[in-house]
């Protein structure tokens, strides 16, 4: 998709910003899934202290 933007309009900066945004959204989505999984189990992910993040029940 970004190649199409550059080819049609020469918008390299917009293409770079869109790529960065999509990559950031994908990383945040994976982190959200990991934290949701551990939260549903009632245990924090390794390295996270439960009392600091409100995960202790």
pLDDT digits (tens, 9 = 90+) for 5-49: 666 666 777 888 899 999 999 999 999 999 888 888 776 666 666
**Where do we find the tokens 């029940």?**
57
Phi-psi category of residue 45: left, alpha or beta, with phi > 0 → left and psi -120 to 50 → alpha? beta
Helix runs in the chain, H state only: 2-9, 12-41, 50-53
* Exposure of 15 in the CB half-sphere (CA atoms within 13 A): 12
pLDDT of residue 51: 59
Q: What is the pLDDT of residue 28?
A: 96
pLDDT at 2 over 60: yes
d(Cα 4, Cα 2) in Å, to the nearest integer?
5
């Amino acid at each position: 998709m970004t190649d199409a933007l550059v080819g049609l309009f020469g918008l390299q900066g917009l293409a770079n910003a869109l790529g960065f945004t999509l990559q950031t959204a994908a990383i945040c989505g994976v982190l959200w899934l990991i934290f949701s999984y551990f939260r549903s189990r009632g245990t924090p992910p390794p390295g996270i202290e439960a009392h600091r993040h409100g995960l202790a029940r």
